[in-house]
């Protein structure tokens, strides 16, 4: 655990010092994935009078329907997203296809950035579907890979994007994947550019706090 913390500290310190001398936040594209349930209702306690019957809330199913959403985004907004059914797995091939679609969208959104071969991918490359071959394909396209230590709190998707997405989906129920997709689009529509800028810019403060010596 101590070694893991030191690794996180070093990554954060290097990123903080680099951005201080040569700002690069606007070059970052970050990505992560999460399972989204069809039933997001939460069971909670109820305050009742002594003669009042509790309201009935159905218990959630043991194996709930769910889809995996993967979002690629930057300081200017979402570049690409996709959904996978619970029966599907995010393999190296699936990841490469998603990455290719993201790259095509980024070329349209930020042609100058892509043509200069300057985009920086912030992603947990320790995940099982991120193989040496997929990393090589990413670098061949001109992307620099910015280390994102696993299980750290340095991922903007975790501490910002998914945090707000979870709040948006709270207490909602869906019957079909199409409804999940539609609600996800509503979430994207509800967020201004400043939402994405704030999420990326908060990296600086997190890098700085994480860079403090481990006691």
Question: What is the tens place of the pLDDT at every residue in 96-154?
Answer: 899 999 999 999 999 999 998 899 999 876 676 677 778 888 889 999 998 776 667 78
Domain assignment present for residue 54? The answer is no
Residues of the chain where predicted confidence (pLDDT) is lower than 50: 1-3, 62, 214-215
Domain that holds residue 77: 6-40+61-211
CATH code for the domain in which residue 196 is found: 3.30.420.10
Cβ atoms < 10 Å from Cβ of 5: 13
Residue 93 maps to a domain: yes
In sequence order, the 6+-apart residues with CB closer than 8 A to the CB of 13 are 207, 210, 211
pTM: 0.84
Judge whether 82 lies within some domain.
Answer: yes
Q: What is residue 154's predicted lDDT score, i.e. its pLDDT?
A: 86
Q: In the prediction, which pLDDT does 213 show?
A: 59
Whether residue 51 lies inside any domain: the answer is no
In a domain, 48, yes or no: no
Count structural domains, the chain. Answer: 1
Q: Give start and end residues of each alpha helix (H) in the chain.
A: 2-21, 92-109, 111-115, 132-140, 156, 162-169, 177-190, 193-210
| Residue 55 belongs to some domain of the structure | no
Q: Is residue 52 part of a domain?
A: no
Q: Cα(130)–Cα(123) distance, rounded to whole angstroms? A: 10
d(CA 74, CA 150) in angstroms, rounded, equals 20
């Amino acid at each position: 655990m101590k070694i893991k913390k030191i690794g996180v500290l070093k990554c954060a310190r290097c990123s903080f010092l680099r951005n201080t001398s040569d700002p690069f936040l606007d070059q970052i594209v970050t990505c992560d994935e999460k399972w989204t349930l069809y039933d997001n209702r939460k069971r909670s306690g109820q305050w009742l009078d002594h003669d009042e019957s509790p309201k009935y809330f159905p218990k959630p199913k043991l194996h709930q329907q769910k889809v995996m959403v993967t979002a690629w985004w930057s300081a200017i907004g979402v570049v690409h997203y996709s959904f996978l059914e619970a029966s599907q797995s995010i393999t190296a091939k699936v990841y490469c296809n998603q990455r290719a679609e993201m790259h095509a969208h980024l070329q349209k959104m930020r042609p100058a950035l892509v043509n200069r071969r300057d985009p920086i991918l912030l992603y947990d490359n320790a995940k099982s579907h991120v193989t040496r071959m997929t990393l090589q394909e990413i670098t061949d396209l001109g992307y620099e890979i910015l280390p994102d230590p696993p299980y750290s709190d340095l991922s903007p998707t975790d501490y910002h994007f998914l945090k707000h997405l979870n709040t948006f989906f709270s207490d909602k129920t869906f019957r079909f994947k199409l409804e999940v997709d539609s609600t996800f689009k509503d979430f994207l529509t509800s967020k201004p550019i400043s939402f994405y800028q704030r999420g990326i810019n908060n990296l600086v403060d997190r890098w700085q706090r994480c860079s403090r010596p481990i006691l």
